[in-house]
Amino acid sequence: MFANLPLWPDRASNMAGNVDALFIFLLILCGLMCVAIFIMILVFAAKYRRRKGVEAEQIEGSTALELTWSGVPLLIFMGIFAWGAIIYFQERTPPQDSAEIYTVAKQWMWKFQHMEGQREINELHVPVGRDVKMIMTSQDVIHSFYVPAFRIKQDVLPGRYTVAWFRATKAGTYHLFCAEYCGTSHSGMIGSVVVMEPALYEQWLSGGPAAPLPQAGKQLFMSLGCSTCHRLDTQGRGPNLANLYNHPVLLEDGRTIIADDNYIGESILNPAAKLVSGFKPIMPTFQGIISEEQLNALVAYIKSLSQPTEGEAGSRNTPAASPSGQPQTMQVQ
């Protein structure tokens, strides 16, 4: 009867075993504590029941007992906290060489953009054994990217990027859900993740005519006239964007932040939000002019300007100089 009733969903990612181990430990601990409490209730109820002719005896407290039942649970709970924190930081720290896939969630679908140019809706193809970094944003309301077999869930927010990563360990097709109520057809916002052997994945990846995402972003960058201000020399009215992704940005108000995906995206849609030191706020906003997919392409292109070319790997960590002589800062301005 129960032969086809699995206790757990498939374990198909590198993190699934760690999450399951912690969850099983919590179940066992709670079960043992529940049994112990019920046993003690029965024992105390029998031993200290009311008896005729026998007066109740006052029992004084025990310092050793109180220290024990306070100290032991504290150690157990701190151990659980440390265990959970390790798993949390592992899940929130994608490897640097991860394959990046841009994701746009909208009512009621998932849209994926591979850096190689392939686009998908409600179906995501990934290879076995490759670290995959999902860079996600929402076109309308809050959604949540949830793949039970991978044991990952990450909220997807409008107006900013959130990140989730995984490394699939077993080929197959796995369910993708939206785990955040997002409207009337929330239950229909489903999809699948197709995990393929590397050779089959490369064959699938080469089957489409689409241009790589950074190249599409470059074409859009040129067509929007961004290159007139963001030149690859020091003569432009906007910062030089080359070799600046994930580097420090000196702002007009004296703050220094890192030029990550969220900063680039915000600077395109709302250039006045964080003004770069040494540059005037002359860039127009592109809010409502470009789509989320086009924004992803522009971000991917700007990021590609920081990728080391052959023979120039050592130059990636060397920021260029700004007109003021300070370390070069970046804003899509």
CATH number, position 155: 2.60.40.420
Q: Are residues 130 and 194 in the same domain?
A: yes
- If asked whether residues 172 and 124 sit together in one domain, one would say yes
pLDDT at 327: 40
Q: What is the pLDDT of residue 240?
A: 80
C-beta atoms surrounding 320 within 10 Å: 19
Domain assignment present for 40 = no
For residue 101, pLDDT beyond 70: yes
Segments forming the whole domain that contains residue 232 = 213-307
Q: Are residues 220 and 243 in the same domain?
A: yes
* DSSP-derived secondary structure letter, 319: P
The DSSP annotation for 33-84 comes to HHHHHHHHHHHHHHHT---TT---------HHHHHHHHHHHHHHHHHHHHHH
90: in domain = no
Kindly tell me if the per-residue pLDDT of 314 is higher than 60: no
How confident is residue 330, by pLDDT bands cut at 50, 70 and 90?
very low
* Of 205, 225, 241, the domain-final residue: 205
Are 149 and 114 contained in the same domain? yes
pLDDT at 187: 93
Q: Is the pLDDT of residue 81 over 80?
A: yes
Distance CA 171, CA 197 (A): 6
CA–CA separation, 315 vs 324, rounded Å? Answer: 21
For the segment 227-252, the average pLDDT, to the nearest whole number, is: 81
* Cα 192 to Cα 177: distance, rounded to the nearest angstrom: 8
Express each pLDDT in 140-191 by its tens digit.
999 999 999 999 999 999 989 999 999 999 999 999 999 999 999 999 999 9
- Whether the pLDDT of residue 210 is over 80: the answer is no
Q: What is the pLDDT of residue 333?
A: 45
Q: 151-165, 222-236, 250-264, 282-296: which range is least confident on average? A: 222-236
pLDDT at 323 > cutoff 80: no
> Is it true that the peptide bond before 8 is cis, omega within 30 degrees of 0?
no
- Note whether residue 25 is domain-resident: no
pLDDT at 47: 83
Do residues 177 and 264 both lie within one domain? no
Number of domains, the chain:
2
Does the pLDDT of residue 309 top 80, yes or no?
no
- Check whether residue 134 and residue 190 sit in a common domain: yes
Question: What confidence score (pLDDT) does residue 51 get?
Answer: 77
Bridge partners, 194 (sequence order): 125, 173
